[in-house]
Structure 1
Amino acid sequence: MTLPSSKAPTPEAVSRPHPVAAFVAGTGIGALGGLIGLGGAEFRLPLLIGPFRFKALEAVILNKAMSLVVVATALPFRTTAVPVAALAEHWSIIVNLLSGSLLGAWFGAGWATRLSSRTLYRVIAGLLVLIAVALVFGHDASLAGPCLNGPSLWAVGTLTGFGIGVVASLMGVAGGELLIPTLVLLFGADLKLAGSLSLAVSLPTMFVGFARYSRDRSFVVLGQNRLFVLVMAAGSIAGTFIGGRLLGLVPSAVLLPVLAAILAISAVKVWRHA
């Protein structure tokens, strides 16, 4: 008679991304983001799902953590160009967008944790296409002054903030590519000021989404990949700095369509993961 083995079956080993690959990828993504004034989270998410083979919800949570690091460091870096006093003068815009984005971030994170992987992959793919469109048509929007005033401006700002908060939570991004056109077109903000206002709105919005994700069991992916998160976030910050220094060397007329095409191709690949 064959006795049962006392050794319990072990789960299949999961290969973790190499730290060097994480840093190089983070640097490249950060450089792309720095060239157009973003943190690069939109480009990081397809990479986490594709080559690094994280599941959809795990990739979103990892992306959110690294985006928080990038945004938290980018805001003080920009104070030399846009001082804190200039942000304080426009506190009402920040409060207006936050009144919707904080709630949107909470609901968006909650929906993401309840969606099946198949559905979440497809939602992410659709949002990548949306951001690609915003990248091409919204990034170089010209200043035309606020298009609304009074209560109507506040109402539209709150609803827009809610939608951006949902998108930011579902994808683990800061939402700058949607916030900056909103700030320019809806509130008439200068493009440079809009970049800093976007960060000021993104940071608390991301903290709310992050807090909501922390209640899901998939949140353990951060502890299991702590070194990967820190190394890739460091690469993203370094890349953002490099991209900022290269700004102006690559014409926007060439850069923006290329980056939008990258997002569109990524959307197709993410969709196929479903």
Structure 2
Amino acid sequence: MSIETSTTNQPNKAAAFGFGALIGALGGLIGLGGAEFRLPILIGWFNFAPLAAIILNKAMSLVVVASALPSRAATIPLSAIADNWLVVVNLLAGSLIGAWFGAGWAIQLKSQTLYRIIAGLLVLIALILLLGHNVTGGAALLHGPLQVVAGIVAGFFIGVVAALMGVAGGELLIPTLVLLFGADIKLAGSLSLAVSLPTMLVGFARYSQDRSFSILGANLGFVAFMALGSIAGSFIGGRLLGLIPSHVLLPLLAVILLLSAVKVWKHR
């Protein structure tokens, strides 16, 4: 599969940092990393082929998630995550397999098919932003063996999506943790990181076995600048959290994702 970028629109580090900061701020405003907004930028603005964009997005997502762990630990102690290790393992049992298969499928798919899958997933994320972002913790939806099976199935789906988009999957993990397991919303944010990091590493490892992975080595500076911008933007967005009412912010972000989906669908 082709991994080249346009010869007329080579990656620019200053633009990478600026877009990274904007994306990080958008993600920070809703408590996510913003990778779902970064992927359309990599495709539409920087003109990376879809597989290359996914791999680069995955690398940046790893950096952003790793940087978020210390700050989350200050809010939710690691002991709270350890107390819920069964929930983490339950989701990982599906997400690790899903990430491996998802990355393998992405490598095999034609570019045009991958564009359309990404567009469809962007629409899905937009709907989840509108319908599932303001869920609150309470009673678990299922219990016992049914909960375990549902956790594995949900984890597999989340792992596939995370691999196909190069995202951490928090936009799917947090509602799953809250609804299926009854987790508190703040705890769910930390638990999602505990699931996301190993899931992304598995997807990353699968991509590293394909020749398309060379796109990362050719663009390390670009990745570093955009990742740093995303980290800085996430910090700013987190400080502005609550400044814009959710009933205004979430529909606005959903519209951005829907417009991005249309652009990615039509991309050539």
* TM-score bracket for the superposition, by shorter chain length: over 0.9
In structure 2, what is the equivalent of residue 100 of structure 1?
A: 94
Which residue does the alignment assign to 1:76? Answer: 70
1:120 aligns with 2:114: yes
User: Who wins on radius of gyration, i.e. which is larger?
Assistant: 1
> Deviation of residue 143 (structure 1)?
2.1
How far 1:16 moved relative to its partner?
2.2
Task: Give 2:247's match in structure 1, choosing from 250, 253, 257.
Answer: 253
TM-score by length of 2: 0.96
2:52 corresponds to which residue?
58
Of 149, 167, 173, the match for 1:155: 149
Cα-to-partner distance string for 1:227-249 (whole Å, 9 max, x where unaligned): 00000000000000000000111
Gap change, CA 1:257 and 1:15, over 3 Å in 2: closer
Whichever residue aligns with residue 215 of structure 1, its letter is: Q
Asked if the contact 2:138–2:184 (Cα under 8 Å) also holds between the matched residues in 1, the reply is no
Instruction: Give the Cα separation in 1 of the matches to 2:119 and 2:72.
Output: 31
> 1:18 Cα deviation (Å)?
1.4
| Deviation digits for residues 93-116 of structure 1 (CA, Å, limit 9, x no counterpart) | 000000000000000000000000
Alignment of 1:110 with 2:104, yes or no, is: yes
1:129 aligns with 123
Corresponding residue for residue 232 of structure 2: 238
Residue ranges of structure 2 left out of the alignment (5+ in a row)? 1-5
SS at match of 1:21: helix
- How many Å apart are 1:186 and its aligned residue? 0.5
Number of aligned positions between the proteins: 263
TM-score, structure 1 normalization: 0.94
The superposition leaves residues 24-54 of structure 1 with CA deviations (integer Å, 9 ceiling, x where unpaired) of 0000000000010111100000000001100
Partner deviation per Cα, 1:239-269 (whole Å, 9 max, x = no partner): 0000000011111110000000000000000
User: Comparing 12-21 with 237-246, which one deviates more in the overlay?
Assistant: 12-21
Q: Does residue 198 of structure 1 match 2:192?
A: yes
What pairs with 1:182-193 in structure 2 (closer than 5 Å)?
182-193=176-187
1:214 aligns with 2:228: no
Between the aligned partners of 1:140 and 1:183, the Cα distance in structure 2 is 13
- Cα distance between partner residues in 2 of 1:262 and 1:61: 22
In 2, distance between residues paired with 1:76 and 1:196?
Answer: 10
Task: Assess if the C-alpha contact under 8 Å between 2:132 and 2:175 holds in 1.
Answer: yes
Is this contact kept in 1: 2:21–2:231, CA < 8 A? yes
**CA–CA distance in 2 between the matches of 1:38 and 1:207?**
18
State the Cα RMSD in Å.
Answer: 1.0
Match of 2:133 in 1: 139
**Aligned equivalents of 2:136 and 2:226: distance in 1?**
34
Could you tell me the percent identity over the aligned residues?
A: 68
Q: Deviations over 1:49-98 (max 9, x none)?
A: 00110000000000000000000110121111100001001000000000
Q: Out of 258, 262, 265, which is 1:268 matched to?
A: 262
Query: Within 1, Cα distance between the matches of 2:209 and 2:16?
Result: 26
User: 2:127 touches 2:254 (CA, 8 Å); kept in 1?
Assistant: yes
- CA drift of 1:147 comes to 1.0
- 1:18 aligns with 12
Contact 2:32 2:170 survives alignment (8 Å) = yes
